[in-house]
A = this chain, B = another copy of it.
Amino acid sequence: MPGRSQDKPAKPAAPFVLVIHGGAGVVTTELTPEREAAVRATLEQALRAGHAVLEKGGASLDAVIAAIKILEDSPLFNAGKGAVLTAEGTVEMDASVMDGATRKAGAVAGVKHVKNPIELARMVMEKTPHVLLAGEGAEVVAKQHGLPLMPPDYFITEPRRQQLKRVQEQEKSGKKKAQHETNAERTGTVGAVALDQHGNLAAGTSTGGMVNKKFGRVGDSPIIGAGNYADNRTCAVSGTGHGEFFIRSVVAYDIAALMEYKGLSLAAAADEVVMKKLKALGGSGGVIAVDGKGNIAMPFNSEGMYRGVIRADGRPTIAIRKE
């Protein structure tokens, strides 16, 4: 590996960093110590999976996908296995990736059988001339390229069945839900952003969407510019929150635009969009973001956001509540 030979002076390693989120819909009052420990362990596992890629000089896109696959495979998050259920009791998952070096992007909406929707999003980017594929058509691409498919039962967990039942009973009784419950229903998306040793940024987002969703509702996660954006010249962003507001506010791209056009730092731009503009419109949620120098930002205007960071030193930092 370059710079690692004992004959040459050690070249300082280029900085790299991976940031992940497991959703902004955390209801901290309902978070048992057992659940919190399980969530923290899985977030750490995801960080380590991405770190292993980056440490070897791998691409930020590979690190983002490695991390997100761990979160999709865990029943604890609203993506892949354990995704929330639609009004019909099925799963309909959305995901997207963007490569900051080429500004190529891929996304899928409403997939029902693909084990790792984030892999399919990448396949759309790399193997088709398209950016966004929806429904059964997206699954055809998964089959053509041999991506693992799963029966519906793989994705559906008992806690999600109970959650759907609870929400539908509340809806039927016309009882107004507490705000934190409403937020929790809308959120729980997972995502990752990374800067690799080559200076390339990437972003990925994956979700089951909203619990009890109807009418083929698509949120911000598969929408480039809203729930996902990456451009080496500015930043990589993944969002989680009330998707309709993220779409209307073009949240992810707006952070990049504030950096490029107004010269704001990543932290100032992310803060402006999430804590001021999005909030003013009435939208709850948060983002994770990284710029080309390895600066990171993780603002959220909701109660909590599952999130974690790992840098070259390999020491993961995980947080849930406001700090």
Interface residues of A (CB under 8 A from B): 98, 103-105, 109-110, 128-138, 140-141, 214-219, 223-226, 229, 243-244, 247-250, 253-254, 257-258, 261-262, 281
A104 to B131, CA, bound (A): 24
A258 to B249, CA, bound (A): 15
For A133, give its contact among B138, B218, B253 (CB under 8 Å): B218
Q: Do B281 and A253 touch (CB < 8 A)?
A: no
Q: Do A110 and B132 touch (CB < 8 A)?
A: no
For A132, give its contact among B137, B217, B258 (CB under 8 Å): B217
Q: Do A105 and B261 touch (CB < 8 A)?
A: no
A214 to B138, CA, bound (A): 9
Expressed in whole angstroms, the minimum distance between the Cβ of A227 and any Cβ of chain B is: 11
A244 to B224, CA, bound (A): 10
A48 to B135, CA, bound (A): 39
What are 23 pairs between A and B in contact, CB < 8 Å?
Answer: A98-B248, A103-B248, A104-B248, A128-B215, A130-B215, A130-B217, A132-B219, A133-B215, A133-B217, A134-B135, A135-B135, A137-B215, A141-B215, A223-B223, A224-B247, A225-B226, A225-B250, A225-B253, A229-B250, A253-B253, A253-B257, A261-B261, A262-B262
Residues of chain B within 8 A of A261, CB atoms compared = 257-258, 261-262
Residues of chain B within 8 A of A103, CB atoms compared = 248-249, 281
Residues of chain B within 8 A of A128, CB atoms compared = 215
Q: Do A215 and B131 touch (CB < 8 A)?
A: no
Residues of chain B within 8 A of A244, CB atoms compared = 129-131
Residues of chain B within 8 A of A262, CB atoms compared = 261-262
A225 to B131, CA, bound (A): 15
